Amino acid sequence: MKRGFDILAAAAGLIVLWPVLLALGLMVRLESPGPAIHWSRRVGRGNRLFAMPKFRTMRAGCPDVATHLLQAPGQWITPLGCVLRKTSLDELPQLWSVLVGDMSLVGPRPALFNQDDLVALRTRDGVDALRPGMTGWAQVNGRDALPVADKARLDRDYLDRMSFGFDLRILALTAARVLVRDSVAH
């Protein structure tokens, strides 16, 4: 049921939002040199790497690390990128990853390829068996502000409580958090 819902929702989202996606892609390209889409190397189900699309919010040449690990994140984030991040519009291309099965609408957010501490905790707790999500329980409970151990604990909690109803609750909480721009650090 979860995968069927993911496919229907992602396909509908891509069909309905294609003009928005096209406009945002053009805006990214016009603002700064480089591709409109950044394909981030992420850890997926079974700890396999996959390429996750996001609208590019950083200047070309930015180191491929979590934003909070950059020396001066502000020098890398573009003005439009700041808006895209605060509104979570940079995440919309991930509907493609949901459609093709690399991601789900709800699950633990995919770790960057170099977030070994988070990957190790998730693997220990069996969370690596889940398809990563565009949003998740940790996202609605702190997002960027959470320490790695807390993210892993919330991911395990999601694994234990996983159900279609819980996913719908997380999607509703995500919409509410996005509207108030809650817990976005950069």
| Residue numbers of the domain that contains 8 | 2-180
Of 162, 139, 163, 165, the closest CA to residue 150 belongs to 139
pLDDT digits (tens, 9 = 90+) for 149-185: 999 999 999 999 999 999 999 999 999 988 876 655 5
Q: Is residue 58 part of a domain?
A: yes
Is the pLDDT at 58 greater than 90, yes or no? no
Place of tokens 């770790």: 111
Is the pLDDT at 96 greater than 90, yes or no? yes
pLDDT at res. 160: 97
- Is residue 132 very low, low, confident or very high in pLDDT (cuts 50, 70, 90)? very high
Is the pLDDT at 186 greater than 60, yes or no? no
Residues 174, 79: Cα–Cα separation, whole Å? 24
Question: What tokens does 5 get?
Answer: 């819902």
Q: Is residue 133 part of a domain?
A: yes
Q: Is residue 150 part of a domain?
A: yes
To the question of pTM greater than 0.95 for the whole model, the response is no
Q: Is residue 39 part of a domain?
A: yes
What total number of domains does the chain contain? Answer: 1
Residues 143, 7: Cα–Cα separation, whole Å? 25
Q: Is residue 185 part of a domain?
A: no
pLDDT at res. 65: 65
Q: Is residue 50 part of a domain?
A: yes
